Structure formats: C-alpha cells, structure tokens
Amino acid sequence: VPVLLFVAAPYIRRYVAGGRCKSTARLDGKVVIITGANTGIGKETARDLAQRGKCSARVIIACRDIAKAEVAASEIQAETGNQQVIVKKLDLADTKSIREFAEKFLAEEKELHILINNAGVMLCPYSKTADGFEMHLGVNHLGHFLLTFLLLERLKQCAPARIVNVSSLAHHGGRIRFHDLQGEKSYNRGLAYCHSKLANVLFTRELARRLQGKSQRQAEFTANALHPGSVYSELVRHSFVMTWLWKIFSFFLKTPCEGAQTSIYCAVAEELDSVSGQYFSDCQPAYVSPRGRDDETAKKLWSVSCELLGIQWD
C-alpha cells in the first residue's frame, strides 16, 4: 500500500489541484480591488494579477488587518516588481468602514476595471457585525453587496469591467430563510456559511440580470461567481476540528495558489468577455443548485438586502 500511494501521489495531487487559468491576458494600466487579499487565495490572486503586463496593474488589497496586508503587499511587490500593490483599510463587518473605503477610493482613483469580492468568514460562533447582522450574512453577502453598490458606477465608466464573487460548492447546502435571515431563532454555523454562499450565487445572478441593458457596453461589463475548491487556508480557523482535519488531509486539499486559479480565470480569461451571471469551478462552468437558480428568491433577496442596508438600488 505505501508503494502504491507513493506511485499514485503525483496523479492524486494533479487531480486535487484542478483546473488552471491558462490565459496570458495582460492588465497593463488596469485597476483591481481584491477584498481579503492579505492571505490565502486572495493573496495568490493579487500576486498573479500584479505581474500581468509590462505596465503593471494597480492592485488594491482591501483588508481589515492592515499590518498583515502590508506584509503581503511588500512580498508581492518584491516578487513581481510591481510597486502598485496598494493596501487600503476595509472591514466588511462594518458598513461605516465600507462606505469610508469606497469614498476614499472614488476620490483617489479615477478608474476601476476588476472588483473581486473574495473575503469571507466561515464557521463562526454566533456573532453579529457592527450593524447587527449575523456575521456570515453580514460579511460574506451584505458587506460585498454594499461595496459593489458603491463602486458600480465607476466600474461601468471603465468598461470592459468585471465583478467576480467568490462563492462555494457549499451553496448547495444553503437556503435563504427570510423568516430567520439573521439566525436568531435557529443557528448552525456550518449552515450559516452555506446560506451566505448561496446568497453570493443569487446576488451574482440578479446583478447580471439587472446589468443587461444598463450600460452602453453591457457585453463588456460582467458579473460571475465561482467555487475555488477545498483550499488549505485560514478560513477554517474558527473551528478546532476543521483546523485539525485540514492539517491531517492537507495533501488532498488545494494550495492557495491552486485555489486562486478560478478567481484569476474569471477576472482575466478572454473567453468570458461577454459571459455574465454564471458560476465556475476549476476554470470551467459548474452546476448550480436549484435554489441558486431561483430568480424569485434572487429578486427578493436583493430587495431585502437593500432594505437592511438602507440603500436604493434599482
């Protein structure tokens, strides 16, 4: 058995690694925002996008932990030679921070071509954001919903532009429980994560629908969602059991670089120039759960999200 495992190991790893983004698209002069890019797949996505082109892209790492983000940015700058890897403060668990980030960005930056809503929390004990939202819903869905709303016009002005929402295969286990959206009546942290990832898929679907006909260059302004794969990262840090299992079975998990491939693919692949409202895994279209294709739920979630955030987004 040990011999067989040794022989099979390279093939197992190749299978686990999944698809790779083969696009050589350049991002000369483009401006990119990646949330939560101080670690994991966000950091690897930033590393890849920072080195695409002679006239490097301006990659903005939007994170809550500034110190950790500065270390990541310095590492990427040193490796890629791109000094336009910039750190900005953004706490998705606080709508005041989100608004301040957007206000400063719009005042300082005249362009935005790619927004990658990557940051997320997983398996949190029951807790609430600064605005009283259940943490998974607040950070994974509502935080990115508000951020996208605030930056949408700048993206439209700079088309071709893309919005990339990092969801998960876990959306298959989710449902939008409008009667208990904040989990106050019944809470399971694993299911709460699944619910928030389903919200990502539904948000992407409804956003893409609403973008149709809203821009003179609508075919060049897209929104897609993705599953990065099971990645060995810090995302499971709130669960001792999952952290332990992740370490034991790390050989069967994607590395952050491997997990970043579909995010990169959705951000740069030429064949996706006019593809919107879709869901990808391993750099190819993937199956969406029936709940993730429910247009009525997507519309209602949009309306409820606007109400919770106190915004009007028609």
- CB–CB of 304/311 below 8 Å? no
Among 206, 34, 229, smallest CA distance to 112 is for: 34
| Phi, psi (degrees; rounded to nearest 5) at 189 | -65, -30
Q: How far is CA 205 from CA 15, 34, 107, 287, in A?
A: 29, 20, 30, 14
Report CA torsion sign: 41, 46, 48, 49. Answer: positive
Tell me whether residue 232 is one of the annotated catalytic residues: no
Q: In whole angstroms, what is the distance from residue 274 CA to residue 220 CA?
A: 6
- Active-site annotation holder among 11, 187, 193, 279: 193
List the Cα angle 74/94/72 in 5-degree steps. Answer: 10
Task: Confirm if 260 and 45 have CB atoms less than 8 A apart.
Answer: yes
- For the record, the structure tokens of 14 come out as 């190749």
304 HSE (CA, 13 A, CB side): 20
Residues assigned a catalytic role: 193
